[in-house]
Structure 1
Amino acid sequence: MSRILEFKSALGFRKSSLTSGWRMVREALTMPTHFPEPISDDFQYDESAEACNMEDIVVFGTAFLSVVYSLVFVFGLVGNLLVIFSLSNSRKRKSITDIYLLNLALSDLLFVATLPFWTHYLRSEQGFHNAVCKLTTAFFFIGFFGGIFFITIISIDRYLAIVLAANSMNNRTVTHGVTISLGVWAAAILVAAPQFMFTKQKENECLGDYPEVLQDIWPVLRNVEANALGFLLPLLILIYCYFRIMRTLFSCKNRKKAKAIKLILLVVIVFFLFWTPYNIMIFLETLNLYDFFPDCDMKRDLKLAIGVTETIAFIHCCLNPIIYAFAGEKFRRYLSHLYRKCLAVLCCYSVDTGFSPPESQTGRRESILSSNFTHYTSDGEVSLHV
């Protein structure tokens, strides 16, 4: 987020730099004419006079990000609230997967809840109050890392439920799920801290104000952390877990095996497609900190690419409810129940019947889904679909 919001500070810096450069030119033109004198060794060339103009990038970024942030906020809010509402209103016994899905939705909600503030920040000339700046940045990064970490935990849980079903039977309880979730939140706060601990409101800009000794190294460490802990490590865990799950699925006989494999591939491919471009841009920005891209056009292209790829990555939080929740049959029944209940309220008829499938039908479905490799789990249906 701070990378995109630097658009505002970049515009102000470039304007002041160019003004300084033109002032030097005017002073040189109005000076009295003298005979040429030897150039003093103390003369220093002001490189800021040729600063790279980012004004058009800033204008485009402000308009583009404002629209995308608003759309991500609306769809992310609705989708994740539906997940939370479905889980909290289910009459069935909660499973460990339900706990993880609930926390994934909460982390995505925390993330998208900051987007209206950033939209206001982009549009406003006044910026934030210092406390709002710190809190918004903190919630943003905690939700950001929390969402990535819970996606990883869900993948590990699927691995335990399917590949190591017999050995994990006693460990996959709701109590364990709550304990692990608290640990994940603590890890998200710890990992997010370097991203926001130096953030403050300074001259109407909400940016990192690093101590002098850390000004060169801290932005590099932030980028490396985002690449390593926010992408590479989770991606490797996802690939390993779902590769082992697919091997297990291929070795069993289940008529819904093909559907489960397609969903597994969807999880990995969507995560890779939405997050890889952004993390490549973060890596290139790290190189830019060491002046690997001295050309102005390359710097402009990099700034623009970071803005576009970041918004693409943010869209992933809108897809999480679809991929991790509503793709399962259990959650589709939740939505069907909710839809019929709303109809019943509007049409004033009884809601006591007709919302759940017959017990015998439910039993048949669950017995099919829990055969072969899910009969050791406490949430056999979700084990296959998530």
Structure 2
Amino acid sequence: MSFFFINEEYFPNYTLYENQTPYVVDPKTLSCETEPLPATPALMLCLILIVIFLLAIPGNLLVGWVIGTSKQALTPSDVYLFHLTIADGLMALTIPFWAIALLKGWIFGDFLCKFLNLAFDANFYTSILFLACISIDRYLVIVHASENVGTRKRKSSRLLCAAVWAFSWALALPALFNDAFKRSSDSERMLCHETFDIGSATSWRNVTHGFRHIFGFFLPLLVMIYCYSITIAKVLHSRGFRKHRAMKVIIAVVVVFLLCWMPYHTTMIVDILMRTDMISFDCALRMSVNRALVITNSLALFHSCINPVLYAFVGEKFRKKMTQLFQQKNRQERVSTSRSTSQTSEGNGAIL
């Protein structure tokens, strides 16, 4: 997933042909040439990325710490949430590189261009697929009253986690087509972008974007809607304040997922339709799509910050567990301080 600020969409008057043919001017889009973002908008986007980074890292670390230090047997949902925090945290770790590239261009070389895009794409798929896994487990627990805490179930959930990670990294392999290069021979600003050199560049781009839409949005969304709709129907026919509160969390999860990711994927679909001439070229529309890609990509990244809040901080069990851990840590610190003070007092008395 090439980031918006180093993406080809900012340079629509260039077309990459197969067999490593250099970029050449496309007369159809010559009048619609765009330049890199001006300093002020670029700085604002850079600040947004830094805010996302500063929120995502501690939030996901805290959730991972609470789950990882639990002495109780973890449910499949706990396991999926733990891996979700890892994926969101790793994805957030790449953000500072993109923020710097936004201001100065790509200065990190060809290897990091490939590796960071590969890591970002893999964790992008992993994060969203684990959201679907959580929805399936909630469906099994509430609708079919399955506790899923047996040894066999725990082993199955861990095997599923391994499969999700392997599948996500496999889906992310097209990121290896990213290369660091200059936009033109007279340009000093480096880019990090897809350069498909096997077969048709357009076909490769459409296929990889198609995978991104199917496995990174539509398929997980269908799973979530199916599982949560039946779960909500079950909750509505049950009694108990906690189950109705759980329903509110479920609705919030789906709504936030749609708000964060639907605009980005919708914009990307419009972009694909324009590139395949299914939508006739229009300079004003092209420019609007470029700006929309900037905004929607930033909005989508906020999902890595919101996940810990939705799946953990809203949950009563998590808050109780977190409170207990902090209280336990404070007690240990007080005991340690008390012992240290006692030893110091005894030492002072012995010296006198």
1:166-215 Cα deviation digits (max 9, x unpaired): 59675873212211100110111122223x03112223221111115221
- By how many angstroms is 1:94 displaced? 2.3
Out of 309, 322, 330, the position equivalent to 1:322 is 309
Residues 341-371 of structure 1 show CA distances to partners (whole Å, capped at 9, x for unaligned) of 454567x3579xxxxxxxxxxxxxxxxxxxx
Q: Determine whether 1:233 maps to 2:219.
A: yes
User: Deviation at 1:6?
Assistant: 3.2
Whether contact under 8 Å (1:79, 1:318) holds in the other structure is yes
Alignment map for 1:114-263 (pairs within 5 Å): 114-125=94-105, 127-166=107-146, 173-194=153-174, 196-203=175-182, 204-211=190-197, 213-263=199-249
Matched, 1:86 2:73: no
The one-letter amino acid paired with 1:2 is S
Q: Report if the CA contact (8 A) 1:281-1:302 is conserved.
A: yes
SS at match of 2:192: strand
8 A contact 1:52–1:296 mirrored in 2: yes
1:6–1:207 CA contact under 8 A, matched in 2 = yes
- Provide the residue aligned with 2:272 in structure 1: 286
- Give the alignment partner of residue 31 of structure 2, picking from 47, 51, 57: 51
User: Which stretch has the larger CA shift, 165-174 or 59-68?
Assistant: 165-174
Moved over 6 A (4+): none
Alignment CA distance shift 1:290-1:48 (3 Å): closer
Displacement of 1:234 in angstroms is 0.9
TM-fit CA distance, 1:329 = 1.7
Query: Residue deviations 1:132-156, cap 9 Å, x none?
Result: 1111001100111100000000001
Q: State the distance in 1 between where 2:76 and 2:236 align.
A: 25
Q: Distance in 1 between matches of 2:58 and 2:220?
A: 26
- The percent of aligned pairs where both chains have the same amino acid is 29
Q: Measure how far apart 1:5 and its partner are.
A: 3.1
Matched, 1:68 2:48: yes
Q: Distance in 1 between matches of 2:41 and 2:180?
A: 21
Q: Which runs of 5+ in 2 are unaligned?
A: 15-24, 183-189, 338-352
Between 1:60-69 and 1:147-156, the stretch displaced more is: 60-69
- Give the counterpart letter for 1:200 in structure 2: D
Aligned counterparts of 1:114 and 1:286: Cα–Cα separation in 2: 26
**Paired AA for residue 274 in structure 2:** N
Separation in structure 2 between the aligned mates of residue 74 and residue 345 of structure 1, nearest angstrom: 29
Q: More displaced, 327-336 or 103-112?
A: 327-336
| In structure 1, distance between residues paired with 2:313 and 2:296 | 26
> Residues 350, 337 of structure 1: CA spacing in aligned structure 2 closer, same or farther, 3 A cutoff?
farther
CA deviations on 1:288-325 (whole Å, 9 max, x unpaired) are 21242522221111101011011111101101111112
Question: CA–CA distance in 1 between the matches of 2:29 and 2:200?
Answer: 27
Quote the Cα distance in structure 2 between the aligned partners of 1:343 and 1:169: 31
Deviations 1:86-125 (A, max 9, x none): 1122222222222111100000011101101111222224
For structure 1, the 5+ residue unaligned runs are 15-44, 352-386
Taking the aligned partners of 2:221 and 2:26, their CA distance within structure 1 comes to: 45
> Aligned partners of 2:78 and 2:152: how far apart in 1?
11
Q: Counterpart of 2:83?
A: 103
Q: State the partner residue of 2:286.
A: 299
Number of aligned residues: 319
